[in-house]
Structure 1
Amino acid sequence: MNARGGALSWPAGHDSGIGLAGVGTALPGDPVDNAALSRWLGITPEWVEGFIGTRTRHFAVDLDGGSVRWTLEDLCTDAADRALADAGADPDDVAFIVVATATPDALMPTTAALVADRLGIDGVPVYQLQSGCTGAVQAMALASSLLAHGARGRPPVGLVVGGDVCSKHLDLRQNFRELPPSQLVNYVLFGDGAGAAVLSRAPGAARARLTRADHWLSGLGRAPGQRVEWFGQADRHSGRPAVVEDYKAIEALVPVMAQEVLDTLLDSLGWPAESLGHVLPPQLSGRMTERITRGLRQGLEWDEVSCVAETGNNGNALVFFQLERLLPRLEAGGRAVGIAIESSKWIKAGFAVEASG
């Protein structure tokens, strides 16, 4: 149901039929396990494992000194290079770039423009979307539309990139024992990373078909579930925490919203639930993903494709890590759906993938 009580319907014109030609991902440094994280935060590994359920994550920031070891630009460039290599494509083949992130390195220039420069791409449109966990799906939806309506003579390939470096927004110098759970959770929940996909309208170029990708706002009259501040020189010492979230609201609402996305996807595509081979559930944390997956399964035998327990919640990178795991498992005739929920102002997103041929 939507906010006015009516049935959800999928917006028209988003059956993309665009090929998913290649995927690449990038993580900064070695994984940080719960024992190491617990020593640093002064909390028990049992608390992290029981409350969050994430085993490892990666940080672009040095936890001891606080220096930035990898920028978002670094990670997005690495992921894009790997996606192009996976697709057998060159930078000259790219007609446009879409980057999704909630944590850009700077307000200007955009990370998208810097990544294009690092890749040696010029003379093409470059877009950057500011969003959280649904941003990657938003980017795929935009890219699918651009490819479907692309000008003749342009290369039939688009590069979609998503990534976040959440750790740069966290204060590493404070007394963590004094933090309330609503702030402490951010230090154990999130990780950093980037992912990318090459989308193509060229026949026969794809490993799978991106059948549908879309998103819609679902937060009318509802307080934001998460807020990430941007501190300028004038307000950086205001005493406000950089990141806060209403995790109780998230626990209550995200499973319901995920079910609505799944139902809407299947209805709009005309796919019986039994025809699904794989589901890519929202990747909030290990524990929340387990809970959401149990609710979505309803006795069906599809394969869950998850990554968050190993990568941490790295925002806009998550969908690409899931797709990287999905593609080798997708057999002829196979179908998969992915779901992403963003608690910032409550955005739902979903996409569907079918095996090529």
Structure 2
Amino acid sequence: MTAARTRLAGVGTALPGDPVDNTALALRLGISAEWVEAFIGTRTRHFALDLASGAVRWSLEDLCTDAADRALADADADPEDVGFLVLATATPDALMPTTAALVADRLGIDQVPAYQLQSGCSGAVQALALGSSLLSAQGRGGKPLGLVIGGDVCSKHLDLAQDFRELPPAQLVNYVLFGDGAGAVVLSGESGTGRRARLAAADHWLSGLGRTPGQRVEWFGAADRHSGRPAVTEDYKAVERQVPVMAREVLDTLLATLGWTSESLGHVLPPQLGGRMTERITRTLRQGLEWEEVSCVAETGNNGNALVFCQLQRLLPRLGAQGRAVGIAIESSKWIKAGFAVEATT
């Protein structure tokens, strides 16, 4: 568990284009808007490509750079104050160079470490944990700030030429659940200026020993790109069974480790799979308590590693002088549990 003396100095997000509602998405894919609303519960999402033509309008690099720019502006900070950059994604623009290095170049950041974590939804929490550790390790001689970014462009798997009406629901869900976006936070030390909040904890735990992966995303090279394997597969029923239970385990672990009571929580940031699933998870977590849920997925779609930052952007203005919040992310690929805690500071 990363016990952090880390302040959240600034936050920024970037969502590409106008929101795409269920009617527009269903019309383009030739499916039922009512099915999307009833089964997924997500009302809108954003795509980095133009839904009409299929033309790509934003890269992951573009979105991450925009989010980082906004986080730096929110922290009233300059790129030369950044001592390291960590970027989490499951959908890099290329294998090399890393998106992290390209974003650093766009921002004018040089001569500092730039890390890229390849992970699904838990990657954003992994990046926060790594960023907090790096900030602590820099010592007095290091630059005062760290930049942590998460983002995904899931629409790269959206093949608009295929007949979506022929897909079974288990495959179709992957094309209506996800969206695109990026988010970033600026981290500072305990004595740093910025928002009146600190990252009290951030960690993740592998929980997939002996379990079949719940999701697989392929990488195809020149030799196997025509193998016939689907690019994305997901066991949505396993996700439905496992994620609420695992989310509760993360909440209990964080509270026990920090010595917080359930009653002391003002806000919970639940896993953001889809609108309907998030409602189900929240019911499992709440157990009669009166904390406020901080969710965004019904409006943003599941944009992977951007979600935690979109939630944080909504949380920080609501946190209050004595506020406490816990955030949870569950990655179904090999069943990774991740969580973090935020506490108001004076």
For 1:28-47, what aligned pairs fall within 5 Å after superposition? Answer: 28-47=16-35
Match of 2:275 among 269, 279, 286: 286
Give the corresponding residue for 1:265: 254
1:212 aligns to what SS in structure 2?
A: strand
The residue number in structure 2 matching 1:224 is 213
Q: How does 1:35-184 map to 2 (within 5 A)?
A: 35-184=23-172
CA distance in 2, matches of 1:264, 1:242: 34
Question: Quick one: which amino acid aligns to residue 221 of structure 1?
Answer: G
Structure 1 segments unaligned to the other structure (5+ residues): 1-10
Q: Distance in 2 between matches of 1:30 and 1:96?
A: 32
User: d(CA) in 2 for partners of 1:319 and 1:34?
Assistant: 23
SS at match of 1:149: helix
Equivalent position of 1:236 in the other structure: 225
Q: Which runs of 4+ in 1 moved over 4 A?
A: none
Stretch of structure 1 that moved more, 168-177 or 76-85: 168-177
Unaligned stretches of 5+ residues in structure 2: none
Using the TM superposition, name which of 36-45 and 75-84 deviates more.
36-45
Alpha-carbon distance, 1:307 to partner = 0.2
2:83 partner letter:
A
Q: Within 2, Cα distance between the matches of 1:133 and 1:216? A: 13
Return the TM-score normalized by structure 2.
0.98
The offset of 1:149, in angstroms, is 1.3
TM-score, normalised to structure 1, is 0.95
Percentage of identical aligned residues? 80
For residues 96-147 of structure 1, give each alpha carbon's deviation from its aligned partner in whole angstroms, at most 9, with x where no partner exists.
0000000000000000000000000000000000000000000000000011
AA aligned opposite 1:244: T
Q: CA deviation at 1:351?
A: 0.3
Contact 1:224/1:345, CA 8 A, preserved across alignment: yes
Contact 2:5–2:190 (8 Å) recurs in 1: no
Tell me the CA shift for residue 202 of structure 1: 5.0
**1:65 & 1:234 partners in 2: Cα distance?**
29
Q: Which deviates more from structure 2 when the two are superposed, residues 36-45 or residues 268-277?
A: 36-45
Shift in Å at residue 204 of structure 1?
Answer: 4.5
Aligned-partner residue type, residue 153 of structure 2: V
Name the counterpart of 1:25. 13
- What is the CA distance between 1:65 and its match in structure 2? 2.2
Shift of 1:152: 3.0
- Amino acid corresponding to residue 273 of structure 1 in structure 2: S
Distance in 2 (alpha carbons) for counterparts of 1:294 and 1:104: 34
Aligned: 1:307 with 2:296 = yes
Does structure 1 retain, via aligned residues, the 8 Å contact 2:328–2:339? yes
Q: Output one character per residue of 1:6-32: Cα deviation in whole Å (capped at 9) or x when no partner.
A: xxxxx4xx2112000000000010100
Q: Using the alignment, how far apart are the partners of 2:72 and 2:34 within structure 1?
A: 41
CA displacement at 1:70 relative to structure 2: 0.2
